[in-house]
Amino acid sequence: MAKKGGDKRLKRQLAPRFWQVNRKSARFILNTMPGPHTRKFSYPIGVVLRDLLHVCTNIREAKRSLNKGLISVDGKMIRHPNFPIGLMDTLEIKPSNQSYRFVPSNGIPLFPIKINSDEKNLKLEKIKSKVTSKENLYQYCLHDGRTFLSKESYNVNDTCLIDLPKFGIKNHVQLKEGCTVIVTRGENAGNIGKVEEIKTGSFSLPKRVLVSMGEKTVELPIDIVMAIGVDSSLIQVSK
């Protein structure tokens, strides 16, 4: 029989550079399965439980916890240890009532921070695409693959604050001059600043954003900048 589907294992030496794992122990590590986030910018939930949060000593314990329904992501129970966790996802450990949000921090694209229980159902979602649907509705696609229809007209690269697991838009942040943003990738990942100017793109250059971070101002591609509020962030995105 021919092999079907991707490999569930990954050599540790080939794992994404931001993974905080020991690369000189076992030869293989869990790989991420197809899901809401790309393999390049996500963690398998089994690796998160064992190597980042240290709530399990091995993958067998992680699988047992998942099978018992003790772990949820964005309010949904996850059963597979290869399920990918990405930007702004919230992981809840039900026995201890602890919740973690995965945010960029100190140059790392994904880092778990502990959040209050009243924020565990809130998530910031960046709008990646917008098309006009029937009956004068707009269809939006968010950065984790979710889609929704709305009569409200938002712009691509804006951010929506949604309520999960039942989908509902609680707030909206437009990416414009004066808003607060967080850098999601690169050496400035995790830095928070104010938008000074939005520069239009060209054939050879993508659309760019001038962001002031304290005493310095940096020019960044708009793809790695996420609006999180006006004067301050709508939810907790840093330690």
CA neighbor of 104 nearest in space, from 91, 86, 116? 86
| pLDDT score for 73 | 96
Stretch (H or E) spanning 64: helix 59-67
What is the CATH architecture of 9-118? Roll (3.10)
- DSSP string computed for 111-134: EEEEE-GGGTTEEEEEEEEEEE-G
Q: What is the pLDDT of residues 56-110, one digit of tens each?
A: 999 999 999 999 999 999 999 999 999 999 999 999 999 899 999 999 999 999 9
CA neighbor of 178 nearest in space, from 197, 157, 155? 197
- The CATH superfamily holding the domain 122-173 is Ribosomal protein S4, central domain (2.40.50.740)
Return the residue matching tokens 């439980």: 49
**Amino acid letter, 200:** T
Q: What is the pLDDT of residues 154-206, one digit of tens each?
A: 999 999 999 998 899 999 999 999 999 999 999 999 999 999 999 988 888 88
Phi, psi of 201, deg, nearest 5: -85, 175
CA neighbor of 179 nearest in space, from 122, 126, 107, 100? 126
